[in-house]
Amino acid sequence: MNDMSGGNYTTADGRKIGNTLMEMKNITLRFGGVVAIKDISFDIHEGEIRAIIGPNGAGKSSMLNVVSGFYNPQEGEVWFRGKKRPPMKPYQVAQQGIARTFQNIALFEGMSVLDNIMTGRLTHMKSGMFAQALWLGKAEREETQNREVVEKIIDFLEIQTIRKTPVGRLPYGLKKRVELARALAAEPKLLLLDEPMAGMNVEEKEDMSRFILDVNDEFGTTIALIEHDMGVVMDLSDRVVVMDYGKKIGDGTPDEVRNNQEVIDAYLGVAHD
């Protein structure tokens, strides 16, 4: 068995896991008197699929929002690519190469699938508003290049049929896929998925799992995901952080976590005295 805590190993199916990409050090997040996250530390290695799980209200989404820079924790440090990250605006985080999807889909309902995904390329567009409005040479070239990237993602996620369909007309499962496409369009270093399988049926879950694995495999994207479907998490992830009541109660491979008594108690319930 490889030592997984330090990174730099190869998984059983041949994927290379690199150094630490992101490290959370002693994060504490409070909303007034409510402590949402209490002194949590964990790291994410390059190329791995890292899951954050826990019962409802455990603080998973808050944790993801700290990673994505939406919340600034009162205590603790976020280290990204070897540097300590100062408090940032969400767009600055996006520029650093972090993209995300949302628990309640956040797409532009009236725009076509293609246009929605194109918005994901925003951080890669350099030409100014003036050049774009006048369709100057550089702007046109840039649009073509970006469209090419987007088309490859459309092909990858097999959504060619709905390319020109307004998002509002799509069923839920496909919207989730479009959201993933938009996040991918940013060509992120780190992809954050907030409950990618919520509300899906078995078939849609299987599809989504395959796409997540394929994204990780083909583009080498590091993925951090929140999910409370245990079966899916255990099959997908390399390492899992388990949270309960804002605290970390487990961290390790799916097997380790599965056999952790505290985790079992959190999920199956235990009498609190």
Q: Where on the chain is the footprint of another protein (CB under 8 A)?
A: 13-15, 147-148, 151-152, 154-156, 158, 160-161, 163, 214, 217-218
Nearer to another protein among residue 104 and residue 144 (C-beta) = 144
Token pair listed for 176:
């989730």
Q: Are strands 239-244 and 247-252 parallel, antiparallel or unpaired?
A: antiparallel
Torsion of CA 164, 200, 216, 81, to 10 degrees: 100
- Taking the C-alpha atoms of residue 107 and residue 109, their distance in angstroms, rounded to an integer, is 6
* Contact present, 44 and 222 (Cβ < 8 Å): yes
Minimum CB separation of residue 3 from another protein in Å reads 22
Minimum CB separation of residue 171 from another protein in Å reads 14
Minimum CB separation of residue 213 from another protein in Å reads 9
Nearer to another protein among residue 2 and residue 160 (C-beta) = 160
81: helix, coil or strand? coil
* Contact present, 24 and 40 (Cβ < 8 Å): yes
Nearer to another protein among residue 26 and residue 161 (C-beta) = 161
Torsion of CA 152, 153, 155, 160, to 10 degrees: -120
CA atoms within 13 A on the CB side of 62: 24
Nearer to another protein among residue 40 and residue 167 (C-beta) = 167
* Contact present, 137 and 196 (Cβ < 8 Å): no
Minimum CB separation of residue 9 from another protein in Å reads 16
Residues in the chain: 273
Nearer to another protein among residue 23 and residue 207 (C-beta) = 207
Torsion of CA 188, 172, 208, 244, to 10 degrees: 80
* Contact present, 11 and 40 (Cβ < 8 Å): no
Nearer to another protein among residue 170 and residue 257 (C-beta) = 170
Minimum CB separation of residue 155 from another protein in Å reads 6
Minimum CB separation of residue 152 from another protein in Å reads 6
Minimum CB separation of residue 207 from another protein in Å reads 11
Q: Are strands 190-194 and 98-100 parallel, antiparallel or unpaired?
A: parallel
Nearer to another protein among residue 163 and residue 258 (C-beta) = 163
